[in-house]
Structure 1
């Protein structure tokens, strides 16, 4: 028998199921945390039989690694889109807009990568805490590059402040269940960017 137009190649179907599991893992871990999440939860979210999960991921740690890869992919996709903007200040504002656009989810569950990094830090011996830190490092490096292109002094320090502000407003928004904290703090970050630009040109 040959593959018909209506029957995807088995390898393509396998890749699609793995991607569904990866995306579902990232979502469920964000909503429930690592310790509370079961293989059955992930299988249910991905709409696959629970037994199939072990075909792709042998352990829970492998699923966490897949979730971190998913977060990395989302970050690279977002920054790739923002890199199309000609002005680094507008790229940073676009990043703020993306953060604020997720305010309802953030108020309920916190920052996907930040909350995962904190939880993984409590688990020792598997190196996943360092892997989570690498995702945040990618963000810091990209933000620092934007400040560098703006000609700002101490771009690395400004990047730490910028990303730290995001983590802080995510934490407070989640703790207080108030999405508008993201809106207000996002607007403040935009004002600071505009002020930096005026200082540079003044």
Structure 2
């Protein structure tokens, strides 16, 4: 059955994210994006005229996925549960993270901190919901993200999920005991 042409940009963006995460943006070609998305190579140029357009689409796609994930974590749960779900989500993709790093690290490799800023803002809001003042909530958000991303980076560098698993467990306890 033919695919809906209206989802072509989304398929191309998803393919570009997967390829940038697994092989790096430098090695990601238009032909590889087209093959990954199962579209003709020529039609990729309609959406992405330059490598910068691909990088922008990757950052925008990661930001949209993170926003959706954040909404899912916050939907119907209290702030502590949302933070715990955020941390647990790092374990949902452990094999890929160990091999290639996190989606946030992929966003950083294409040269944007926008996704990190978005996640930090969401985390700070959750800490504010727990009663922390804005500056304390921001500091806690930075600590949590640095910890889990650092655990993921170490897991990837060592080729072993244990540093990430331990950091998620530690930060989950830290969130459970957080008092404003």
Q: Which moved more, 1:19-28 or 1:188-197?
A: 188-197
1:162 to 132, 137, 144: 144
Q: In structure 1, the residue corresponding to 2:113 is in which secondary structure?
A: helix
Contact 1:39 1:50 in 2 (8 A): yes
Match of 2:121 in 1: 141
What SS does the corresponding residue of 2:166 show, helix, strand or coil? helix
Among candidates 6, 30, 52, match of residue 61 of structure 1 = 52
State the Cα distance separating 1:85 from its structure 2 match.
3.1
Secondary structure, in 3 states, of the residue corresponding to 1:152? coil
Residue 184 of structure 1, CA deviation: 1.4
Which stretches in structure 2 are left out of the alignment for 5+ residues? none
- The runs of 4+ residues in structure 1 deviating greater than 2 Å are none
- 2:13 is matched with 22
Structure 2: distance between partners of 1:192 and 1:85: 22
Q: Partners of 1:78 and 1:162 in 2: how far apart?
A: 17
| 1:183 equivalent in alignment to 2:172 | no
Query: Which residue, out of 37, 51, 54, partners 2:42?
Result: 51
How high is the TM-score relative to the length of structure 2? 0.92
Deviations 1:119-171 (A, max 9, x none): 34xxxxxxxx3xx2111101001100111111135111111100111210111
TM-score (norm 1): 0.82
Compared CA separation, residues 56 and 187, structure 1 to 2 (3 A): same
How many residues in Structure 1 have an aligned counterpart in Structure 2?
178
Contact 2:66 / 2:119 at 8 angstroms: preserved in 1?
A: yes
Contact 2:127 2:140 in 1 (8 A): yes
